[in-house]
A and B are shown apart, each in its own frame.
Chain A
Amino acid sequence: MNKRFRNLAKGLSLTSMLFVFQACYGSPQDMDPDVHISGIVLSDTTENPISNIKVKLINKDSGMIQNQQTDENGEFSIYTGASNSYELNFADVDSTENNVYIEKDTIISNVGENVYLKISLEKQ
Protein backbone atom coordinates (compact mmCIF):
# COMPACT_ATOMS: atom_id res chain seq x y z
CA MET A 1 0.00 0.00 0.00
CA ASN A 2 2.79 2.35 0.96
CA LYS A 3 4.51 1.71 -2.35
CA ARG A 4 1.31 2.57 -4.24
CA PHE A 5 1.09 5.86 -2.36
CA ARG A 6 4.71 6.59 -3.16
CA ASN A 7 4.19 6.00 -6.86
CA LEU A 8 1.04 8.14 -6.86
CA ALA A 9 2.89 10.99 -5.18
CA LYS A 10 5.71 10.62 -7.65
CA GLY A 11 3.27 11.08 -10.53
CA LEU A 12 1.49 14.00 -8.92
CA SER A 13 4.68 15.90 -8.22
CA LEU A 14 5.62 15.73 -11.92
CA THR A 15 9.29 15.70 -11.08
CA SER A 16 11.73 13.06 -12.17
CA MET A 17 14.37 11.10 -10.29
CA LEU A 18 12.50 11.27 -7.01
CA PHE A 19 13.72 7.94 -5.81
CA VAL A 20 17.23 8.13 -7.23
CA PHE A 21 18.24 10.89 -4.90
CA GLN A 22 21.75 11.83 -3.91
CA ALA A 23 22.89 12.89 -0.48
CA CYS A 24 24.22 16.45 -0.61
CA TYR A 25 27.83 15.36 -0.05
CA GLY A 26 27.50 11.82 -1.43
CA SER A 27 27.82 10.03 -4.74
CA PRO A 28 25.16 9.32 -7.35
CA GLN A 29 23.20 6.12 -6.75
CA ASP A 30 21.73 5.54 -10.21
CA MET A 31 24.05 2.94 -11.64
CA ASP A 32 23.86 0.84 -14.77
CA PRO A 33 23.26 -2.89 -14.36
CA ASP A 34 26.41 -4.95 -14.43
CA VAL A 35 27.61 -8.54 -14.59
CA HIS A 36 30.09 -10.39 -12.39
CA ILE A 37 32.47 -12.59 -14.36
CA SER A 38 34.78 -14.68 -12.21
CA GLY A 39 36.62 -17.95 -12.41
CA ILE A 40 39.77 -19.92 -11.98
CA VAL A 41 42.70 -20.61 -14.30
CA LEU A 42 44.25 -24.07 -14.02
CA SER A 43 47.11 -25.96 -15.63
CA ASP A 44 45.63 -28.64 -17.91
CA THR A 45 48.30 -31.14 -16.93
CA THR A 46 48.51 -30.71 -13.15
CA GLU A 47 45.10 -29.03 -12.57
CA ASN A 48 46.90 -26.69 -10.19
CA PRO A 49 45.80 -23.06 -10.14
CA ILE A 50 48.03 -20.64 -12.03
CA SER A 51 48.72 -17.23 -10.54
CA ASN A 52 49.68 -14.05 -12.43
CA ILE A 53 47.85 -14.91 -15.64
CA LYS A 54 46.69 -11.71 -17.32
CA VAL A 55 42.93 -11.80 -17.87
CA LYS A 56 41.72 -9.33 -20.50
CA LEU A 57 37.97 -8.86 -20.74
CA ILE A 58 36.47 -7.11 -23.76
CA ASN A 59 32.87 -6.00 -23.51
CA LYS A 60 31.70 -6.63 -27.10
CA ASP A 61 28.84 -4.10 -26.94
CA SER A 62 30.75 -1.16 -25.52
CA GLY A 63 34.27 -2.12 -26.61
CA MET A 64 35.51 -1.38 -23.09
CA ILE A 65 38.50 -3.39 -21.94
CA GLN A 66 39.26 -4.45 -18.37
CA ASN A 67 42.35 -6.29 -17.13
CA GLN A 68 43.23 -8.29 -14.06
CA GLN A 69 45.90 -10.74 -12.95
CA THR A 70 44.86 -14.07 -11.42
CA ASP A 71 45.64 -14.14 -7.70
CA GLU A 72 47.69 -16.68 -5.76
CA ASN A 73 44.74 -19.11 -6.00
CA GLY A 74 44.51 -18.71 -9.77
CA GLU A 75 41.25 -16.80 -9.41
CA PHE A 76 39.92 -13.67 -11.10
CA SER A 77 36.82 -11.58 -10.45
CA ILE A 78 35.61 -8.71 -12.63
CA TYR A 79 32.46 -6.61 -12.53
CA THR A 80 31.64 -5.26 -15.97
CA GLY A 81 28.81 -3.61 -17.85
CA ALA A 82 25.98 -5.77 -19.18
CA SER A 83 26.62 -6.90 -22.76
CA ASN A 84 25.39 -9.48 -25.24
CA SER A 85 28.82 -11.08 -25.32
CA TYR A 86 32.30 -10.82 -23.86
CA GLU A 87 35.68 -11.89 -25.14
CA LEU A 88 38.20 -13.10 -22.58
CA ASN A 89 41.89 -13.53 -23.23
CA PHE A 90 44.20 -15.41 -20.86
CA ALA A 91 47.91 -14.75 -21.35
CA ASP A 92 51.00 -15.71 -19.41
CA VAL A 93 52.65 -12.30 -19.46
CA ASP A 94 53.72 -9.61 -16.98
CA SER A 95 55.02 -12.21 -14.54
CA THR A 96 58.52 -13.27 -13.44
CA GLU A 97 58.47 -16.29 -15.72
CA ASN A 98 56.44 -15.65 -18.87
CA ASN A 99 55.08 -17.65 -21.80
CA VAL A 100 55.08 -20.94 -19.94
CA TYR A 101 51.44 -21.40 -20.99
CA ILE A 102 49.79 -21.00 -24.40
CA GLU A 103 47.51 -17.97 -24.68
CA LYS A 104 43.79 -18.73 -24.81
CA ASP A 105 40.67 -16.83 -25.99
CA THR A 106 37.10 -17.50 -24.94
CA ILE A 107 33.85 -15.85 -25.98
CA ILE A 108 30.82 -16.00 -23.71
CA SER A 109 27.35 -14.71 -24.52
CA ASN A 110 23.84 -14.46 -23.10
CA VAL A 111 25.13 -14.51 -19.56
CA GLY A 112 23.12 -13.82 -16.41
CA GLU A 113 24.19 -11.67 -13.50
CA ASN A 114 26.98 -14.04 -12.46
CA VAL A 115 29.26 -16.23 -14.54
CA TYR A 116 31.90 -18.58 -13.20
CA LEU A 117 34.50 -19.93 -15.63
CA LYS A 118 37.01 -22.74 -15.30
CA ILE A 119 39.85 -22.16 -17.75
CA SER A 120 42.58 -24.70 -18.48
CA LEU A 121 45.85 -23.57 -20.04
CA GLU A 122 48.26 -25.82 -21.91
CA LYS A 123 52.00 -25.59 -21.43
CA GLN A 124 54.07 -24.39 -24.39
Chain B
Amino acid sequence: MFKSLKQTAFNKFKNIETNFHELNYLFWECTTRCNLNCLHCGSDCSKDSSFDDMPLDDFLKSLDTIETQKDIITVVITGGEPLVRKDLEQCGREIRKRGMRWAMVSNGQLYDEKRHNSLINAGLGALTISLDGLEKSHNWLRNSTTNFERVGKAISLATSYPRLNFDIVTCVNNKNIDELPEILEYLLSKNVKTWRLFTIVPIGRAVDNPELFLSDKQFTKMLDFISTTRKQKLIDVKFSCEGYVGDYELKVRDTFFFCRAGINIGSILIDGSISACPNIDRSFSQGNIYKDNFFEVWQSKFQMFRDRSWTKVGKCANCSEYKNCQGNGLHYWTAEKDGVMVCHNEKII
Protein backbone atom coordinates (compact mmCIF):
# COMPACT_ATOMS: atom_id res chain seq x y z
CA MET B 1 0.00 0.00 0.00
CA PHE B 2 2.75 2.44 1.05
CA LYS B 3 4.90 1.36 -1.89
CA SER B 4 1.97 1.85 -4.22
CA LEU B 5 1.51 5.43 -2.97
CA LYS B 6 5.20 6.07 -3.46
CA GLN B 7 4.99 4.68 -6.99
CA THR B 8 2.03 6.95 -7.74
CA ALA B 9 3.92 9.99 -6.45
CA PHE B 10 6.96 8.93 -8.43
CA ASN B 11 4.89 8.65 -11.61
CA LYS B 12 3.74 12.26 -11.07
CA PHE B 13 7.34 13.24 -10.61
CA LYS B 14 8.25 11.45 -13.85
CA ASN B 15 5.60 13.45 -15.70
CA ILE B 16 7.02 16.70 -14.36
CA GLU B 17 10.55 15.69 -15.27
CA THR B 18 9.39 14.66 -18.74
CA ASN B 19 7.66 17.98 -19.35
CA PHE B 20 10.59 19.94 -17.88
CA HIS B 21 13.03 18.10 -20.22
CA GLU B 22 16.17 19.53 -18.64
CA LEU B 23 19.49 18.37 -20.06
CA ASN B 24 21.53 16.99 -17.15
CA TYR B 25 23.55 14.20 -18.67
CA LEU B 26 25.30 14.28 -22.02
CA PHE B 27 27.09 11.28 -23.46
CA TRP B 28 29.88 11.96 -25.89
CA GLU B 29 30.84 9.00 -28.06
CA CYS B 30 34.26 10.49 -28.75
CA THR B 31 35.68 7.44 -30.51
CA THR B 32 34.59 4.02 -31.68
CA ARG B 33 38.15 2.71 -31.63
CA CYS B 34 38.67 0.11 -28.94
CA ASN B 35 41.65 -1.85 -27.66
CA LEU B 36 39.47 -4.85 -26.78
CA ASN B 37 37.10 -6.96 -28.82
CA CYS B 38 34.43 -7.88 -26.26
CA LEU B 39 31.92 -10.60 -27.06
CA HIS B 40 28.98 -8.48 -25.94
CA CYS B 41 29.88 -5.10 -27.47
CA GLY B 42 26.69 -3.20 -28.30
CA SER B 43 28.59 -0.80 -30.52
CA ASP B 44 30.50 -3.42 -32.51
CA CYS B 45 33.67 -1.45 -31.71
CA SER B 46 37.07 -2.62 -32.89
CA LYS B 47 40.70 -1.57 -33.17
CA ASP B 48 40.11 -0.31 -36.71
CA SER B 49 36.99 1.74 -36.47
CA SER B 50 35.32 2.88 -39.67
CA PHE B 51 34.91 6.29 -38.04
CA ASP B 52 37.65 8.77 -37.20
CA ASP B 53 37.58 10.12 -33.65
CA MET B 54 35.35 13.16 -33.38
CA PRO B 55 37.54 16.28 -33.32
CA LEU B 56 37.31 18.03 -29.95
CA ASP B 57 36.43 21.35 -31.61
CA ASP B 58 33.36 19.82 -33.25
CA PHE B 59 32.10 18.62 -29.88
CA LEU B 60 32.89 21.94 -28.20
CA LYS B 61 30.93 23.87 -30.84
CA SER B 62 27.90 21.81 -29.81
CA LEU B 63 28.51 22.40 -26.11
CA ASP B 64 28.70 26.12 -26.82
CA THR B 65 25.15 26.10 -28.18
CA ILE B 66 23.81 25.19 -24.73
CA GLU B 67 22.06 28.24 -23.34
CA THR B 68 21.04 26.87 -19.98
CA GLN B 69 22.78 26.66 -16.59
CA LYS B 70 26.00 24.73 -17.22
CA ASP B 71 26.74 23.32 -13.77
CA ILE B 72 23.71 21.02 -13.91
CA ILE B 73 25.23 19.11 -16.82
CA THR B 74 27.62 16.19 -16.62
CA VAL B 75 29.42 15.13 -19.79
CA VAL B 76 30.06 11.40 -19.81
CA ILE B 77 32.80 10.44 -22.23
CA THR B 78 32.33 7.04 -23.76
CA GLY B 79 33.37 5.03 -26.78
CA GLY B 80 34.78 2.72 -27.99
CA GLU B 81 37.43 3.10 -25.37
CA PRO B 82 37.97 6.78 -24.47
CA LEU B 83 41.52 6.18 -23.22
CA VAL B 84 42.76 5.44 -26.74
CA ARG B 85 42.45 9.18 -27.33
CA LYS B 86 45.65 10.99 -26.46
CA ASP B 87 43.84 14.32 -26.03
CA LEU B 88 41.34 13.12 -23.44
CA GLU B 89 42.76 15.36 -20.70
CA GLN B 90 42.46 18.36 -22.99
CA CYS B 91 38.86 17.35 -23.73
CA GLY B 92 38.16 17.23 -20.00
CA ARG B 93 39.74 20.62 -19.35
CA GLU B 94 37.71 22.26 -22.12
CA ILE B 95 34.53 20.79 -20.67
CA ARG B 96 35.47 22.16 -17.23
CA LYS B 97 36.21 25.60 -18.72
CA ARG B 98 32.59 25.65 -19.85
CA GLY B 99 31.35 25.07 -16.30
CA MET B 100 30.38 21.41 -16.69
CA ARG B 101 31.69 18.36 -14.88
CA TRP B 102 32.91 15.28 -16.71
CA ALA B 103 33.08 11.55 -16.22
CA MET B 104 34.25 8.56 -18.20
CA VAL B 105 33.32 4.94 -18.87
CA SER B 106 36.37 2.75 -19.51
CA ASN B 107 37.41 -0.88 -19.89
CA GLY B 108 40.44 -0.12 -17.69
CA GLN B 109 43.03 -1.60 -20.05
CA LEU B 110 45.01 1.64 -20.40
CA TYR B 111 44.23 3.10 -16.97
CA ASP B 112 47.70 3.22 -15.43
CA GLU B 113 49.17 5.49 -12.76
CA LYS B 114 50.37 8.14 -15.19
CA ARG B 115 46.99 8.37 -16.90
CA HIS B 116 45.16 8.32 -13.55
CA ASN B 117 47.15 11.33 -12.34
CA SER B 118 46.71 13.31 -15.53
CA LEU B 119 42.96 12.61 -15.68
CA ILE B 120 42.46 13.60 -12.05
CA ASN B 121 44.45 16.79 -12.63
CA ALA B 122 42.22 17.50 -15.63
CA GLY B 123 39.13 17.41 -13.42
CA LEU B 124 37.77 13.92 -13.98
CA GLY B 125 34.97 13.69 -11.41
CA ALA B 126 33.59 10.21 -11.89
CA LEU B 127 34.78 6.99 -13.42
CA THR B 128 33.07 3.73 -14.31
CA ILE B 129 35.09 0.61 -15.02
CA SER B 130 33.77 -2.74 -16.20
CA LEU B 131 34.48 -5.91 -14.28
CA ASP B 132 32.59 -8.87 -15.67
CA GLY B 133 33.55 -11.68 -13.37
CA LEU B 134 36.49 -13.42 -11.80
CA GLU B 135 39.57 -13.75 -13.97
CA LYS B 136 38.44 -16.55 -16.27
CA SER B 137 34.91 -15.32 -16.93
CA HIS B 138 35.94 -11.68 -17.17
CA ASN B 139 38.69 -12.37 -19.70
CA TRP B 140 36.31 -14.63 -21.63
CA LEU B 141 33.74 -11.86 -22.08
CA ARG B 142 36.42 -9.26 -22.72
CA ASN B 143 38.13 -11.54 -25.21
CA SER B 144 41.48 -10.77 -23.58
CA THR B 145 44.15 -12.55 -21.57
CA THR B 146 45.27 -9.46 -19.65
CA ASN B 147 42.25 -7.30 -18.99
CA PHE B 148 41.30 -8.75 -15.58
CA GLU B 149 44.76 -7.96 -14.22
CA ARG B 150 44.71 -4.47 -15.76
CA VAL B 151 41.25 -3.78 -14.33
CA GLY B 152 42.49 -4.86 -10.90
CA LYS B 153 45.26 -2.26 -11.09
CA ALA B 154 42.85 0.37 -12.37
CA ILE B 155 40.49 -0.31 -9.45
CA SER B 156 43.35 0.12 -6.96
CA LEU B 157 44.25 3.47 -8.50
CA ALA B 158 40.67 4.70 -8.63
CA THR B 159 39.87 3.77 -5.04
CA SER B 160 43.11 5.40 -3.85
CA TYR B 161 41.65 8.78 -4.70
CA PRO B 162 38.42 9.18 -2.68
CA ARG B 163 37.34 12.38 -4.43
CA LEU B 164 36.76 10.36 -7.58
CA ASN B 165 33.22 9.04 -7.64
CA PHE B 166 34.01 5.57 -8.84
CA ASP B 167 31.84 2.60 -9.59
CA ILE B 168 32.14 -0.85 -11.08
CA VAL B 169 29.68 -2.21 -13.60
CA THR B 170 29.19 -5.89 -14.26
CA CYS B 171 27.41 -7.44 -17.23
CA VAL B 172 25.76 -10.44 -15.65
CA ASN B 173 25.66 -13.44 -17.96
CA ASN B 174 25.61 -17.21 -18.03
CA LYS B 175 29.28 -17.54 -17.09
CA ASN B 176 29.38 -15.20 -14.09
CA ILE B 177 25.90 -15.48 -12.54
CA ASP B 178 27.13 -18.08 -10.05
CA GLU B 179 30.23 -16.03 -9.20
CA LEU B 180 28.42 -12.98 -7.88
CA PRO B 181 29.26 -13.69 -4.20
CA GLU B 182 32.96 -14.12 -5.10
CA ILE B 183 32.96 -10.97 -7.21
CA LEU B 184 31.46 -9.15 -4.22
CA GLU B 185 34.31 -10.44 -2.00
CA TYR B 186 36.85 -9.31 -4.59
CA LEU B 187 35.34 -5.82 -4.81
CA LEU B 188 35.22 -5.48 -1.03
CA SER B 189 38.88 -6.51 -0.85
CA LYS B 190 39.65 -3.72 -3.33
CA ASN B 191 37.70 -1.17 -1.26
CA VAL B 192 35.07 -0.58 -3.97
CA LYS B 193 32.04 1.27 -2.60
CA THR B 194 29.59 1.15 -5.52
CA TRP B 195 28.65 -1.68 -7.84
CA ARG B 196 26.08 -1.74 -10.62
CA LEU B 197 24.86 -4.88 -12.29
CA PHE B 198 23.15 -5.10 -15.61
CA THR B 199 22.25 -7.65 -18.22
CA ILE B 200 23.36 -7.79 -21.82
CA VAL B 201 21.18 -6.29 -24.52
CA PRO B 202 20.66 -8.42 -27.64
CA ILE B 203 22.19 -5.83 -29.98
CA GLY B 204 25.54 -5.41 -31.78
CA ARG B 205 27.95 -8.32 -31.44
CA ALA B 206 25.91 -9.89 -28.62
CA VAL B 207 23.02 -10.95 -30.85
CA ASP B 208 24.76 -14.09 -32.06
CA ASN B 209 25.94 -15.36 -28.68
CA PRO B 210 23.20 -17.02 -26.61
CA GLU B 211 25.67 -17.72 -23.78
CA LEU B 212 25.48 -14.04 -22.89
CA PHE B 213 21.84 -14.00 -21.89
CA LEU B 214 20.32 -15.00 -18.57
CA SER B 215 17.48 -17.47 -18.30
CA ASP B 216 14.45 -16.30 -16.34
CA LYS B 217 15.65 -18.32 -13.35
CA GLN B 218 19.11 -16.78 -13.53
CA PHE B 219 17.68 -13.29 -13.90
CA THR B 220 15.57 -13.74 -10.77
CA LYS B 221 18.59 -15.14 -8.97
CA MET B 222 20.53 -11.98 -9.83
CA LEU B 223 17.76 -9.76 -8.45
CA ASP B 224 17.64 -11.84 -5.28
CA PHE B 225 21.39 -11.51 -4.90
CA ILE B 226 21.19 -7.73 -5.26
CA SER B 227 18.28 -7.46 -2.86
CA THR B 228 19.99 -9.60 -0.20
CA THR B 229 23.35 -7.86 -0.59
CA ARG B 230 21.77 -4.42 -0.27
CA LYS B 231 20.39 -5.41 3.12
CA GLN B 232 23.92 -6.27 4.30
CA LYS B 233 25.05 -2.71 3.51
CA LEU B 234 28.60 -3.83 2.73
CA ILE B 235 28.57 -2.10 -0.62
CA ASP B 236 26.17 0.13 -2.53
CA VAL B 237 25.01 -2.47 -5.02
CA LYS B 238 22.14 -1.91 -7.41
CA PHE B 239 20.49 -3.13 -10.56
CA SER B 240 21.06 -0.55 -13.28
CA CYS B 241 18.13 1.51 -14.46
CA GLU B 242 17.83 -0.62 -17.60
CA GLY B 243 14.38 -2.03 -17.03
CA TYR B 244 11.28 -2.25 -14.87
CA VAL B 245 11.34 -5.10 -12.36
CA GLY B 246 7.88 -5.07 -10.76
CA ASP B 247 7.94 -6.33 -7.17
CA TYR B 248 11.71 -5.88 -7.02
CA GLU B 249 11.46 -2.11 -7.56
CA LEU B 250 13.07 -0.32 -4.57
CA LYS B 251 14.52 -3.67 -3.44
CA VAL B 252 17.27 -3.59 -6.08
CA ARG B 253 17.85 0.14 -6.44
CA ASP B 254 17.20 3.40 -4.60
CA THR B 255 14.48 4.73 -6.88
CA PHE B 256 11.75 3.37 -9.08
CA PHE B 257 12.53 2.59 -12.69
CA PHE B 258 12.69 5.68 -14.89
CA CYS B 259 14.24 5.60 -18.35
CA ARG B 260 15.43 9.19 -18.70
CA ALA B 261 16.76 8.76 -22.25
CA GLY B 262 15.86 11.91 -24.18
CA ILE B 263 14.20 13.35 -21.08
CA ASN B 264 17.33 14.38 -19.18
CA ILE B 265 19.90 12.35 -21.09
CA GLY B 266 21.25 13.32 -24.49
CA SER B 267 24.17 12.18 -26.58
CA ILE B 268 26.45 13.25 -29.36
CA LEU B 269 27.46 10.16 -31.28
CA ILE B 270 30.57 9.47 -33.33
CA ASP B 271 29.00 10.56 -36.65
CA GLY B 272 27.57 13.72 -35.09
CA SER B 273 24.11 12.26 -34.52
CA ILE B 274 22.16 13.82 -31.68
CA SER B 275 20.36 11.18 -29.68
CA ALA B 276 19.70 9.95 -26.14
CA CYS B 277 21.80 7.09 -24.71
CA PRO B 278 24.41 5.70 -27.14
CA ASN B 279 22.97 2.19 -26.94
CA ILE B 280 19.59 3.30 -28.29
CA ASP B 281 18.78 2.37 -31.86
CA ARG B 282 20.58 4.84 -34.10
CA SER B 283 17.44 5.40 -36.16
CA PHE B 284 16.00 7.28 -33.17
CA SER B 285 18.51 10.12 -33.66
CA GLN B 286 16.96 13.56 -33.64
CA GLY B 287 19.49 15.55 -35.63
CA ASN B 288 23.17 15.92 -36.39
CA ILE B 289 25.64 18.46 -35.03
CA TYR B 290 27.16 18.87 -38.51
CA LYS B 291 23.95 20.39 -39.81
CA ASP B 292 21.84 21.30 -36.77
CA ASN B 293 22.22 23.45 -33.66
CA PHE B 294 22.59 20.91 -30.85
CA PHE B 295 20.64 22.77 -28.20
CA GLU B 296 17.83 23.75 -30.57
CA VAL B 297 17.41 20.07 -31.38
CA TRP B 298 17.41 19.20 -27.67
CA GLN B 299 14.73 21.77 -26.95
CA SER B 300 12.51 21.40 -29.99
CA LYS B 301 12.69 17.70 -30.80
CA PHE B 302 12.90 14.48 -28.72
CA GLN B 303 9.08 14.18 -28.72
CA MET B 304 9.23 10.39 -29.16
CA PHE B 305 11.31 10.15 -25.97
CA ARG B 306 8.97 12.35 -23.98
CA ASP B 307 5.73 10.85 -25.24
CA ARG B 308 6.17 7.11 -25.14
CA SER B 309 2.62 6.17 -26.02
CA TRP B 310 4.01 4.60 -29.23
CA THR B 311 5.51 1.86 -27.05
CA LYS B 312 2.07 0.57 -26.12
CA VAL B 313 2.26 -2.19 -28.72
CA GLY B 314 2.96 -5.91 -28.65
CA LYS B 315 3.23 -7.29 -25.13
CA CYS B 316 3.10 -3.75 -23.70
CA ALA B 317 -0.30 -3.03 -25.28
CA ASN B 318 -2.39 -4.61 -22.55
CA CYS B 319 0.13 -4.75 -19.72
CA SER B 320 -1.27 -3.82 -16.31
CA GLU B 321 2.12 -2.40 -15.25
CA TYR B 322 2.51 -0.09 -18.25
CA LYS B 323 2.02 3.13 -16.32
CA ASN B 324 5.04 2.28 -14.14
CA CYS B 325 7.19 0.90 -16.94
CA GLN B 326 6.26 2.80 -20.13
CA GLY B 327 7.87 0.33 -22.49
CA ASN B 328 10.97 -0.53 -20.44
CA GLY B 329 14.39 0.97 -21.31
CA LEU B 330 14.27 2.54 -24.75
CA HIS B 331 17.40 0.68 -25.79
CA TYR B 332 15.18 -2.40 -25.91
CA TRP B 333 13.38 -1.04 -28.98
CA THR B 334 14.37 -1.34 -32.62
CA ALA B 335 13.66 0.92 -35.57
CA GLU B 336 10.51 -1.06 -36.39
CA LYS B 337 8.98 -0.08 -33.02
CA ASP B 338 6.90 -3.24 -33.15
CA GLY B 339 7.47 -4.45 -29.60
CA VAL B 340 9.92 -4.41 -26.74
CA MET B 341 12.87 -6.85 -27.14
CA VAL B 342 13.02 -7.77 -23.46
CA CYS B 343 10.46 -7.42 -20.67
CA HIS B 344 12.37 -7.73 -17.39
CA ASN B 345 9.21 -7.98 -15.35
CA GLU B 346 8.10 -10.96 -17.42
CA LYS B 347 11.42 -12.70 -16.69
CA ILE B 348 10.89 -12.69 -12.94
CA ILE B 349 9.75 -16.09 -11.68
Chain B residues whose C-beta falls within 8 Å of the C-beta of A25 in the assembled complex: 78, 105, 169, 198, 240, 242, 277-279
Q: Are A29 and B74 in contact (CB under 8 A)?
A: yes
Identity of the chain B residue whose Cβ is nearest the Cβ of A59 in the assembled complex: B163
In-complex Cβ contact of B122 among A18, A22, A67, A79 (8 A): A79
Q: Are A66 and B117 in contact (CB under 8 A)?
A: yes
Q: Are A26 and B76 in contact (CB under 8 A)?
A: yes
B186 within 8 A of A: no
Chain A residues whose C-beta falls within 8 Å of the C-beta of B196 in the assembled complex: 22
Q: Are A10 and B128 in contact (CB under 8 A)?
A: no
In-complex Cβ contact of A24 among B6, B240, B250 (8 A): B240
- Bound Cα distance A22, B13 (Å): 17
- Bound Cα distance A81, B162 (Å): 9
B341 to chain A, nearest CB (A): 15
- Bound Cα distance A22, B255 (Å): 11
Identity of the chain A residue whose Cβ is nearest the Cβ of B279 in the assembled complex: A25
Q: Are B120 and A66 in contact (CB under 8 A)?
A: yes
Identity of the chain B residue whose Cβ is nearest the Cβ of A79 in the assembled complex: B123
Of B257-265, B283-291, B294-302, B310-318, the one touching chain A: B257-265
Known: A34-B125, A34-B163, A81-B163. Contact between A6 and B76, CB under 8 A?
A: no
Query: Most A CB atoms within 10 A — which of B13, B167, B331?
Result: B13
A109 within 8 A of B: no
Known: A27-B126, A32-B165. Contact between A9 and B16, CB under 8 A?
A: yes
B12 within 8 A of A: yes
* A50-109 interface (Cβ within 8 A of B): 62, 64, 66-68, 77-81
**Size range of the chain A interface in the assembly:** 35 or more
Q: Are B242 and A26 in contact (CB under 8 A)?
A: no
A36 to chain B, nearest CB (A): 7
Chain B residues whose C-beta falls within 8 Å of the C-beta of A23 in the assembled complex: 25, 27, 76, 241, 260-261, 265, 277
A112 within 8 A of B: no
Chain A residues whose C-beta falls within 8 Å of the C-beta of B146 in the assembled complex: none
B11 to chain A, nearest CB (A): 9
Q: Are B165 and A77 in contact (CB under 8 A)?
A: no
Known: A12-B9, A23-B241, A77-B121. Contact between A6 and B103, CB under 8 A?
A: no
**Interface CB pairs A-B, < 8 A, 28:** A2-B20, A5-B16, A9-B12, A9-B16, A12-B12, A13-B255, A17-B255, A21-B241, A21-B260, A23-B261, A24-B198, A24-B259, A24-B277, A26-B25, A26-B76, A26-B103, A27-B104, A27-B105, A28-B126, A28-B167, A29-B76, A30-B126, A30-B165, A31-B165, A34-B125, A36-B123, A62-B162, A77-B121
Q: Which residues of B contact A (CB under 8 A)?
A: 6, 9-10, 12-13, 16-17, 19-20, 24-25, 27, 74, 76, 78, 93, 96, 101, 103-105, 117-118, 120-123, 125-128, 161-163, 165-167, 169, 194, 196, 198, 240-242, 250, 254-256, 258-261, 264-265, 277-279, 329, 331
